[in-house]
A = this chain, B = another copy of it.
Amino acid sequence: MSTSSQSYPMSGGDDQHSYIHNSSYQKAGIDGVQEKARQYILENLDLLNMNPNLSTFTIADFGCSIGPNTFHAVQNIIDIVKLKHLKESQEDSRVAPLEFQVYFNDLPNNDFNTLFRTQPPSSKQEYFSVGVPGSFYGRVLPRNSIHIGNTSFTTHWLSKVPEEVCDKNSLAWNKNYIHCNNLIEEVTEAYKVQFEKDMGVFLKARAEELVPGGLMITLGQCLPDGVAMYETWSGIVKDTIGDCLQDMATLGVTTEEKIEMFNLPVYFPQVSELKGAIEQNIRFTIEMMEIVSHPLEAVQLSNNFITSMYRAILSTVIERHFGGSVVDELFRQFAKKLSEHPIDFEKCKKQMVYHIVLKRK
């Protein structure tokens, strides 16, 4: 029951290049905002009151990847729901003991084996785990089956690359850039249209899966209005990876044509675009929306950290297009380029973290 979409999970397994060992930047983003979500749930979640006989509380993490961040995120939610339930049980003796079930969702080619095998042993005492294979750009769960949904740093991955950006005859052709760096207005527009469409599909599906009164917690990165990707450090990283591919084409390791056909299905909206896309949905009320700095935004990240982080994120999509043999060489060259021309984080414009709590009408 999922729509077909391009499918590039984070690097699986648990070796040095895996997402497991290279996702601390994302974790810092989650840690930075979790307190507000906890506070909101504690003060406003009325599902428990509404259903005094509720026996199972269900949580879904959409785009969970392989951990450990997903385990932290759901544990945070469970802890606060338990606390609220305990408070309400004391006030109302009708409240039944609660069991928790957590749905870990990601693409069918996500490494669920590693997800299941690396789950903290303690979590088995806390909740029943299930894995849900399927693109979140479509329904993956039954109607009215989830109490709290969560997604962290996922919806910048679009369901697909807009076709025109690979079309040499289109005004929206992205030349030999490999991502939407906002240098070509028509490219930005094509990506923006795809983002808005995908966000609409995402929220429509979640609205069907959540129970009335259920919460959808959405965390991600965006750009301040007026800031372009090429001005941010992560935009510079992707442009530099593109430059390395060009160098490899010159050496005959890949070809110019292959690079022209390659674009990342990734888009970071500006704040006002994001707000517009969220407000378009009529099935949720916006309970909380805050735009904050990433806790590590001002930190001068080491070159090794940057290389490992982007290798874990991008190697699947690069491998699929260019073949597995280029990945090692590409990130070797990238590391070399970074050491020759380190990114000056002070001079970069900043991306922001958005943190939204929606409530199902």
Residues of A within 8 A of B (CB): 1-2, 55-56, 99, 101, 103, 108-109, 111-113, 116-117, 119, 124-125, 127-134, 139-145
- Inter-chain contact B2/A141, CB cutoff 8 Å: no
Cβ-defined partner of A132 (8 Å) among B130, B142, B144: B130
- Inter-chain contact A141/B117, CB cutoff 8 Å: no
Enumerate chain B residues within 8 angstroms of A99, measured Cβ to Cβ: 142-143
- Inter-chain contact A129/B133, CB cutoff 8 Å: yes
How far apart are A74's CB and chain B's nearest CB, in angstroms? 15
Cβ-defined partner of A125 (8 Å) among B1, B101, B116, B124: B1
When chains A and B are docked, how far (Å) is the Cα of A312 from the Cα of B124?
29
- Inter-chain contact B128/A130, CB cutoff 8 Å: no
**Taking CB as reference atom, which chain B residue is nearest A126?**
B1
How far apart are A264's CB and chain B's nearest CB, in angstroms? 24
Enumerate chain B residues within 8 angstroms of A140, measured Cβ to Cβ: 128
- Inter-chain contact A133/B116, CB cutoff 8 Å: yes
How far apart are A272's CB and chain B's nearest CB, in angstroms? 35
When chains A and B are docked, how far (Å) is the Cα of A140 from the Cα of B141?
18
- Inter-chain contact B133/A131, CB cutoff 8 Å: yes
When chains A and B are docked, how far (Å) is the Cα of A310 from the Cα of B342?
58
> How many subunits of this chain does the assembly comprise?
2
- Inter-chain contact B2/A124, CB cutoff 8 Å: yes
- Inter-chain contact B130/A55, CB cutoff 8 Å: no
When chains A and B are docked, how far (Å) is the Cα of A240 from the Cα of B57?
51
- Inter-chain contact B103/A108, CB cutoff 8 Å: no
When chains A and B are docked, how far (Å) is the Cα of A56 from the Cα of B1?
14
- Inter-chain contact A143/B112, CB cutoff 8 Å: no
**Taking CB as reference atom, which chain B residue is nearest A106?**
B116
Enumerate chain B residues within 8 angstroms of A144, measured Cβ to Cβ: 55-56
When chains A and B are docked, how far (Å) is the Cα of A275 from the Cα of B79?
44
- Beyond the given pairs A113-B113, A128-B141, A131-B132, 17 more chain A to chain B contacts, judged by CB atoms under 8 angstroms and listed by A's residue number, are A55-B143, A56-B142, A56-B143, A56-B144, A56-B145, A99-B143, A101-B141, A101-B142, A108-B119, A109-B117, A112-B112, A112-B113, A116-B133, A128-B134, A128-B140, A129-B134, A130-B131
8 nearest CB pairs, A to B: A56-B142, A131-B131, A116-B133, A130-B130, A99-B142, A112-B112, A108-B116, A113-B113
**Taking CB as reference atom, which chain B residue is nearest A118?**
B108
In the complex with contacts A55-B143, A112-B112, A113-B112, A132-B129 CB distance below 8 A = yes
When chains A and B are docked, how far (Å) is the Cα of A55 from the Cα of B208?
12
When chains A and B are docked, how far (Å) is the Cα of A119 from the Cα of B108?
10
When chains A and B are docked, how far (Å) is the Cα of A133 from the Cα of B112?
10
When chains A and B are docked, how far (Å) is the Cα of A190 from the Cα of B235?
66
In the complex with contacts A112-B112, A133-B129, A1-B142 CB distance below 8 A = no
In the complex with contacts A116-B108, A130-B103, A132-B130, A1-B124 CB distance below 8 A = yes
**Taking CB as reference atom, which chain B residue is nearest A133?**
B116
**Taking CB as reference atom, which chain B residue is nearest A132?**
B130
**Taking CB as reference atom, which chain B residue is nearest A127?**
B1
Enumerate chain B residues within 8 angstroms of A133, measured Cβ to Cβ: 116, 119, 129, 131
**Taking CB as reference atom, which chain B residue is nearest A144?**
B55
Enumerate chain B residues within 8 angstroms of A141, measured Cβ to Cβ: 101, 128
Pick 30 A–B contacts, CB within 8 A, sort by A.
A1-B125, A1-B127, A1-B128, A55-B144, A56-B143, A56-B144, A56-B145, A99-B142, A101-B142, A108-B116, A108-B117, A108-B119, A109-B113, A112-B131, A113-B113, A116-B133, A119-B133, A124-B134, A128-B134, A128-B139, A128-B140, A128-B142, A129-B133, A129-B134, A130-B130, A130-B131, A130-B132, A131-B131, A131-B132, A131-B133
